[in-house]
Structure 1
Amino acid sequence: MIAQEEKEKRQKTGKQGMLENVMRQFNHASDSIGLNPDIRKILEITNNELVVHFPVKMDDGNVEVFTGYRVQHNNALGPYKGGLRYHPTVDIDAARALAMWMTWKTSLAGLPFGGAKGGIQIDPAKYSAAELERITRRFTYALGDNIGPELDIPAPDVNTNAQTMAWILDTYMSTKSPNERSSNLHVVTGKPVGAGGSEGRDRATGYGVYLCIKFWAAHNNIDLKGRKFIVQGFGNVGYWASRFLEEEGALLIAVQDASGSIINRKGIPVDELFTYMAGNKNAVAGFPRADVLRNEEFFGLDCDICIPAALGNQITDKNADAIKALLIAEGANGPTDVQAEKILLEKGVAIIPDILCNSGGVIGSYFEWLQNRNGEIWQLEEVMEKLQKKLRESFSRVMRVTDDKNTDMRTAAFSIAIERLEQAYMQRGIFP
């Protein structure tokens, strides 16, 4: 019902949906590189789409039926990889769009993964922890053998976390025979460290956002010290990106989340806000060291860097004109729609695209998967060093194409990702 209402709302307002957005980005990049038309036919559709309806008994004894999704876009480069989100906006089109973005993201990063995405159409705030555990376990059971450590590896996303992954892991392993269980630890990534997770996975995405900003600043001879930045969404990604930027001397001046917007032009202490949120239902509203800001004024604030790290389609043609930032660093997936990007580029605003900017998460997931697969345990310093090296390589490749072809960073990133997939198909051929 929510998904249908969202589609009708988009039709009435003319607002770009995520699937339309990613397809326009794909087509633009494909045109720019002259993608083989046969390969184009393959990449513009998904491989598999799973929709499951499953019943769960609530704390009060009543039964509710939930709808879950898993879309597997492409696995030409390796097993499907992508997060599971719990949110009312989850529907088949959102899963398709996010799965495609994951394919481009893993390809750009040079990982042996494909792309997938999914989740449950649910507002987790309305359910107890015990109910969320039962919902997660029942969803995992419904997915069955459509996920697996060498087939499709889920990870955390919006409103899911390490605990969610631990429930999925335990449920999945419980369906296997005793002699198979030890070889299935890497069926999910983003697990708690004690349950086979990797050191540094919690901060990998936010650290990657920070690194991309740092690399971009160095490329443009900009000193980050004293630079002002704003963040939409202060979850795992927004917090860690802010913390590392603060250590670099940058100043967080405003934050927006579902509870509202706050501002302090002299600076919001990152760890103080994080601690406050832990005791305030993870909401920024009411933080004593900042003032209330009207939501519609957030993106128009006078700042140097804007980090959208919440949901998709937050920067549109309705608010793009007001943006004063020099740089948009996309911590979320698809936060800037196509019309808004055109406006921003014409204004001279740089955009580090999501498939590069937030790829630290999937790179960290790859490291966790690799450690589980090989029976290794890496120290935090080793993980962060490898992550920085991998992201520097990706960023450098994107900037070379951006400069050589005089194009924008998104087109460059998409081109690199798609060409890697094209090469794989051309070398392997099409069965039979």
Structure 2
Amino acid sequence: MATAVKPRVGMYENVKNQFEKAAELMGLDESVKKILSITNNEIVVHFPVKMDNGTVEVFTGYRVQHNNALGPYKGGLRYHPTVDIDAARALATWMTWKTSLAGLPYGGGKGGIQIDPKQYSLSELERITRRFTYALGDNIGPEHDIPAPDVNTNAQMMAWIADTYMSTKSPSERSKNQHVVTGKPVGSGGLEGRDRATGFGVVVTLESWAKVKGVTLEGKKYIVQGFGNVGYWAAHFMHKNGAILVGVQDATGTIYNPEGIDPESLFRYQTENATITGYAGSQDYASDAFFGIECDVIIPAALGNQITDENASSIKAQVIAEGANGPVDTDGEIILLERGIDMIPDILCNSGGVIGSYFEWLQNRNGEIWSMDDVVVKLRKKLEDAFNKVVTTSVQYQTDWRTAAYIQALTRIEMAYKQRGIFP
């Protein structure tokens, strides 16, 4: 008789499980709990785009707006085959917690298009992006819902979105709408340092973790899953701390070198070859054994649900710094907590990106230009403050850091609802 396969818990189920745990422990107001248990708006658009060969394809785009009690919806747009309404709900909900925890005047939103961008030319991606923006219409806006880059989207795409959105406004209104998106190129109103903000934030939280533990990152061995914007910049700043990169995994393969991999050299190789495999300073490694590599720190910076009950028992690291959203599922987390492995939760660990986005939004809104030095100092302060609040809350409630981060975030939103009341 065949053994029944345990169904894999989806990302949205993970989010709801985490929310329920924190809400129960803190005694969240029941009315507020009902509101936060569902999304405010779920937008699905279907739009046609003419391809380079003259044929027409119809694409499906999503934008889920979870909650805006603290301010405009804020969150990225991703282009990936896994994008669907369930993933958008989960990611939008996480953004609500993330912006609240960081002390930002934002709510949470997320979305994207269910495509593999590698299958399309640059001109096709431009038309897809512009048409998606047009289809969303006034469902986004600089004081309403502010997208940003996410998986497989970048500064250039944000510039296309901003240009398309501004083109739908009257000439006198166009200049007031530049901050409809963040993560733009610096020459188009972007922020100096926004490209590295998420990866930098991952390492700032790891520095804070090391301080709490009374250790240093120097000499610590670490592995990174995902070597895109977040993974590369995290490796860059870990290298500056004297940590040793021993393993990297992305969609193209897995590499390993116990003596260390130079992240800058690997980044150049990847840029030239569109893969990490074959890098001279490493050997290929079994992808399904990646998380079991002997190391001190794991930085999952790819997609969700990567660490599960199937591989959590093999992990040898002391700490997991969640550069991605939801990389550890509920079952995997139970095993890691039982084994005493620290986790810096995603809504804290990777919040450098949305904090950087807030700085860009302010810069555009106020007609200012911030220097890289200003950005780094302000970013570090916000991240360290948030980390310290999570540790304090963890001690107060005698709970793990993820639940403490949720409690901290939910407390701020609960206060807003209690002070304002529920309309009418």
TM-score (norm 2): 0.99
- Look up the equivalent residue of 1:371 and give its one-letter code: Q
Q: Identify the residue that residue 297 of structure 1 maps to in structure 2.
A: 289
Q: Identify the residue that residue 375 of structure 2 maps to in structure 1.
A: 383
Percent sequence identity over aligned pairs: 67
Counterpart pick for 2:16 among 3, 20, 23: 23
The structural deviation recorded for 1:403 is 2.1
The CA distance in 1 between the partners of 2:394 and 2:295, in whole Å, is: 25
Unaligned runs of 5+ in 1: 1-10
Q: Identify the residue that residue 89 of structure 2 maps to in structure 1.
A: 96
The CA distance in 2 between the partners of 1:121 and 1:179, in whole Å, is: 35
User: Is 1:55 the equivalent of 2:48?
Assistant: yes
SS in 2 for 1:52: strand
Q: Identify the residue that residue 313 of structure 2 maps to in structure 1.
A: 321
User: Is 1:247 the equivalent of 2:228?
Assistant: no
Aligned pairs for 1:25-44 within 5 A: 25-44=18-37
Write out per-residue CA displacement over residues 156-205 of structure 1, whole angstroms, 9 at most, x where no aligned residue.
00000000100000100110110001100100000000000000100000
Write out per-residue CA displacement over residues 11-69 of structure 1, whole angstroms, 9 at most, x where no aligned residue.
96511100000000000000010111111000000000000000000000000000000
Q: Identify the residue that residue 180 of structure 1 maps to in structure 2.
A: 173
Q: Identify the residue that residue 116 of structure 2 maps to in structure 1.
A: 123
Write out per-residue CA displacement over residues 106-129 of structure 1, whole angstroms, 9 at most, x where no aligned residue.
000000000000000000010000
Q: Identify the residue that residue 363 of structure 2 maps to in structure 1.
A: 371
The structural deviation recorded for 1:384 is 0.4
Q: Identify the residue that residue 71 of structure 2 maps to in structure 1.
A: 78
The CA distance in 2 between the partners of 1:312 and 1:253, in whole Å, is: 22
The structural deviation recorded for 1:404 is 2.6
The CA distance in 2 between the partners of 1:85 and 1:182, in whole Å, is: 26
SS in 2 for 1:372: helix
User: Is 1:204 the equivalent of 2:228?
Assistant: no
Report the count of equivalent residues.
421
Q: CA RMSD in A?
A: 0.8
The CA distance in 1 between the partners of 2:407 and 2:327, in whole Å, is: 20
- Look up the equivalent residue of 1:81 and give its one-letter code: K
The CA distance in 2 between the partners of 1:425 and 1:280, in whole Å, is: 51
The CA distance in 1 between the partners of 2:375 and 2:51, in whole Å, is: 40
The CA distance in 2 between the partners of 1:129 and 1:90, in whole Å, is: 20
Q: Identify the residue that residue 401 of structure 2 maps to in structure 1.
A: 409
The CA distance in 2 between the partners of 1:36 and 1:260, in whole Å, is: 47
- Look up the equivalent residue of 2:391 and give its one-letter code: M
SS in 2 for 1:316: coil
User: Is 1:168 the equivalent of 2:161?
Assistant: yes
Aligned pairs for 1:325-340 within 5 A: 325-340=317-332
Counterpart pick for 2:38 among 29, 45, 66: 45
The structural deviation recorded for 1:288 is 1.3
The CA distance in 2 between the partners of 1:89 and 1:249, in whole Å, is: 36
The structural deviation recorded for 1:222 is 1.1
The CA distance in 1 between the partners of 2:28 and 2:391, in whole Å, is: 21
The structural deviation recorded for 1:293 is 0.2
Write out per-residue CA displacement over residues 79-119 of structure 1, whole angstroms, 9 at most, x where no aligned residue.
00000000000000000000000000000000000000000
User: Is 1:189 the equivalent of 2:182?
Assistant: yes
Write out per-residue CA displacement over residues 287-336 of structure 1, whole angstroms, 9 at most, x where no aligned residue.
11100000011000110000000000000000000000000000000000
The CA distance in 1 between the partners of 2:245 and 2:6, in whole Å, is: 33
Write out per-residue CA displacement over residues 269-303 of structure 1, whole angstroms, 9 at most, x where no aligned residue.
0100000111112x211111100000011000110
The structural deviation recorded for 1:402 is 1.3
- Look up the equivalent residue of 1:199 and give its one-letter code: E
- Look up the equivalent residue of 2:196 and give its one-letter code: R
The CA distance in 1 between the partners of 2:77 and 2:321, in whole Å, is: 23
Q: Identify the residue that residue 146 of structure 2 maps to in structure 1.
A: 153
The CA distance in 2 between the partners of 1:40 and 1:380, in whole Å, is: 40
Write out per-residue CA displacement over residues 186-229 of structure 1, whole angstroms, 9 at most, x where no aligned residue.
00000000000000100000000000000000110112111000
The CA distance in 1 between the partners of 2:162 and 2:276, in whole Å, is: 32
Q: Identify the residue that residue 396 of structure 1 maps to in structure 2.
A: 388
- Look up the equivalent residue of 1:155 and give its one-letter code: A
Counterpart pick for 1:257 among 250, 264, 276: 250
The structural deviation recorded for 1:405 is 2.3
The CA distance in 2 between the partners of 1:418 and 1:383, in whole Å, is: 27
SS in 2 for 1:202: helix
Q: Identify the residue that residue 355 of structure 1 maps to in structure 2.
A: 347
Q: Identify the residue that residue 309 of structure 1 maps to in structure 2.
A: 301
The CA distance in 1 between the partners of 2:396 and 2:218, in whole Å, is: 29
- Look up the equivalent residue of 1:106 and give its one-letter code: T
TM-score (norm 1): 0.97
Q: Identify the residue that residue 103 of structure 2 maps to in structure 1.
A: 110
Q: Identify the residue that residue 141 of structure 1 maps to in structure 2.
A: 134
The CA distance in 1 between the partners of 2:376 and 2:356, in whole Å, is: 9
Q: Identify the residue that residue 215 of structure 2 maps to in structure 1.
A: 222
SS in 2 for 1:299: helix
The CA distance in 1 between the partners of 2:6 and 2:279, in whole Å, is: 34
The structural deviation recorded for 1:406 is 2.0
The CA distance in 1 between the partners of 2:35 and 2:217, in whole Å, is: 42
- Look up the equivalent residue of 2:117 and give its one-letter code: P
The CA distance in 2 between the partners of 1:285 and 1:19, in whole Å, is: 33
The CA distance in 1 between the partners of 2:74 and 2:124, in whole Å, is: 26
- Look up the equivalent residue of 1:246 and give its one-letter code: H
Unaligned runs of 5+ in 2: none
- Look up the equivalent residue of 1:174 and give its one-letter code: S
